[in-house]
């Protein structure tokens, strides 16, 4: 078995884990999620959602038994079918949909500066007893940024035949980062600390939006899955010019 290396490993696929993994993946990191049991965490699988589903069934049964108080009557008693109640609660869990909005403002954000060079830079380096370099590039907290966006996901699972189950997943994510402030170069005011290259890496080097869809069919011991991802346009800055990349779609199929 080959050894795989990851930039980030997230322990637990609860409410925040998958969303965080998606954001880190969009930032170009290789991410792994470790989950020992149920994806979605306590709230989705054993806490909030199933509890509220059971309470809703109990409330409906209670209301039906008090039909006379509401001006109607039923033919016969209202019985509880607990297995059916549990099936409904499980269906509520499986047919899940989430919408997340985020607004992240970062003051004094750390970024890699431009490569500063020239006679003035050489003079500053020599004054610091650095005589074997004529350029300088360093990390600086010279800017403020704001990132905001939305993530929408939905999952449907159903029994489509006696021994066949189908799972459908869909999602949409959109995020945009803007630069609110860039501090001036206090040592060499004529040389900006951050320019096109660095700002592109922060604001346009990642696609602003992404659409994902997947389908998983399990029939007995056989299974097949299809995944599709559409990445929106993005820009990158090379040494010679700024490049604009068109939207692209990737497909993956396993069986």
Residues 6+ apart with CB under 8 A from 58: none
The range of the structural domain enclosing residue 155 comes to 97-255
Is residue 144, in this structure, part of any structural domain at all?
yes
0.75 surpassed by pTM: no
d(CA 158, CA 250): 26
Is residue 51, in this structure, part of any structural domain at all?
no
How many distinct structural domains can be found in the chain?
A: 1
Is residue 45, in this structure, part of any structural domain at all?
no
Q: What is the pLDDT along the chain (255 residues), one digit of tens a residue?
A: 568 888 888 888 777 777 777 778 767 788 888 887 777 777 767 777 778 888 888 888 888 888 888 888 888 888 888 888 888 887 776 666 677 888 888 888 888 888 888 898 899 889 888 888 888 888 888 899 999 888 888 887 777 877 888 888 899 999 888 899 998 888 888 888 888 777 888 888 888 889 999 998 988 888 899 999 998 888 776 655 667 778 888 888 887
Is residue 198, in this structure, part of any structural domain at all?
yes
d(CA 255, CA 217): 9
């Amino acid at each position: 078995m080959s050894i795989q290396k990851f930039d980030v490993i997230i322990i637990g696929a609860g409410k925040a884990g998958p969303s965080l993994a998606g954001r880190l993946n969009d930032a170009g990191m290789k991410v792994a999620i470790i989950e020992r049991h149920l994806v979605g965490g306590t709230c989705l699988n054993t806490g909030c959602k199933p509890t509220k589903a059971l309470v809703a069934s109990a409330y409906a049964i209670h209301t039906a038994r008090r039909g006379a108080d509401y001006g109607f009557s039923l033919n016969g008693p209202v019985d509880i079918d607990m297995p059916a109640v549990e099936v409904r609660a499980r269906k509520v869990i499986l047919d899940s949909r989430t919408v997340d909005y985020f607004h992240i403002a970062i003051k004094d954000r750390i970024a890699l500066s431009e490569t500063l060079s020239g006679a003035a830079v050489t003079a500053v380096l020599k004054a610091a007893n650095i005589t074997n370099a004529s350029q300088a590039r360093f990390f600086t907290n010279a800017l403020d940024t704001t990132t905001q966006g939305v993530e929408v996901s939905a999952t449907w699972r159903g029994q489509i035949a006696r021994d066949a189950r189908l799972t459908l997943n869909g999602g949409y994510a959109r995020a945009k980062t803007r630069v609110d402030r860039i501090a001036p170069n206090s040592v060499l005011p004529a040389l900006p600390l951050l320019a096109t290259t660095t700002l592109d890496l922060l604001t346009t080097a990642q696609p602003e939006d992404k659409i994902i869809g997947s389908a998983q069919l399990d029939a007995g011991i056989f299974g097949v899955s299809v995944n599709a991802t559409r990445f929106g346009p993005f820009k990158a800055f090379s040494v010679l010019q700024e490049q604009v990349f068109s939207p692209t779609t990737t497909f993956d199929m396993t069986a």
